[in-house]
């Protein structure tokens, strides 16, 4: 028991010495220690890494369906579907962006009902790999098909991809 008590007293003294030593060295810097210079950055490597970060971020954004003020990540000016109803058969090339709601198979093509925040429109295209729920951007011309029934017009505006 006496040896354990001596060990404890010596251990306590050593701990206090170590604590006192570390506190003194924090208060009074050692005159022999070198003053560390701030890390200098190599300008060409910094520019390289910033440029690499920029291009990787731009690449990731361009692969998504990101759009900002009607311009999608690819730079194409996307027309809201609501605006297409006012210009039937104008033979204007437009980009529409939205989610596929329905699919109608045709002989050699497919018709997709595309919806965005402003409305929905049929888009006829050669693409056969789209599924319901897919986000799409389709480039095509505005067309109008007249369907008169019993003296009333039931025509439909649609987008035809070329």
CATH at residue 126: 2.40.50.140
The 10s digit of each residue's pLDDT in 105-156 is: 988 899 999 999 999 999 999 988 899 999 999 998 988 888 888 888 877 8
Complete DSSP assignment for the chain: -HHHHHHHHHHHHHHHHHHHHHHHHHHS--TTSPPPPPPPP-HHHHHHHHHHHHHHHHHHHHTTT-EETTEETT--BBPPHHHHTTSTT---EEEEEEEEEEEEE-SSSEEEEEEETTEEEEEEES-----TT-EEEEEEEEEEE--EETTEE--EEEEE--
Q: What average pLDDT does range 20-28 have in this prediction?
A: 53
Provide the domain count of the chain: 1
38 domain-assigned: no
pLDDT bucket at 69, cuts 50 / 70 / 90: very low
Q: pLDDT exceeding 90 applies to what percent of the chain?
A: 17
pLDDT attached to residue 89: 63
Mean pLDDT in the chain? 75
Give dist(CA 45, CA 162) in Å, integer.
47
112: containing domain: 81-160
pLDDT attached to residue 58: 72
153 domain-assigned: yes
Residue whose C-alpha is closest to residue 156's, from 81, 85, 80: 85
Give dist(CA 148, CA 35) in Å, integer.
90
Let me know: does 89 contact 143? Beta carbons within 8 Å. Answer: yes
pLDDT attached to residue 35: 58
121 domain-assigned: yes
The 10s digit of each residue's pLDDT in 37-61 is: 656 666 677 777 777 787 777 776 6
63 domain-assigned: no
103 domain-assigned: yes
pLDDT attached to residue 123: 92
pLDDT attached to residue 71: 46
pLDDT attached to residue 101: 94
55 domain-assigned: no
* Assessment of whether the complete model's pTM goes beyond 0.85: no
């Amino acid at each position: 028991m006496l040896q354990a008590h001596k060990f404890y007293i010596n251990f306590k003294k050593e701990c206090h010495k170590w604590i006192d030593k570390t506190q003194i060295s924090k208060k009074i810097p050692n005159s022999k220690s070198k003053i560390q210079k701030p890390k200098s950055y190599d300008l060409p490597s910094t520019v390289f890494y910033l440029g690499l970060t920029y291009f990787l971020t731009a690449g990731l954004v361009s692969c998504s369906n990101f759009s900002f003020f009607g311009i999608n990540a690819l730079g194409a000016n996307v027309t809201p579907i609501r605006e297409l109803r006012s210009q039937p058969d104008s033979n204007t090339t437009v980009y529409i962006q939205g989610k596929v709601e329905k699919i109608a198979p045709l002989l050699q093509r497919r018709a997709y009902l595309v919806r965005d925040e402003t409305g929905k429109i049929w888009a006829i295209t050669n693409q056969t790999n789209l599924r319901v729920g897919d986000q799409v951007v389709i480039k095509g011309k505005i067309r109008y098909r007249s369907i008169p029934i019993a003296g009333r017009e039931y025509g439909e505006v649609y987008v035809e991809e070329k």
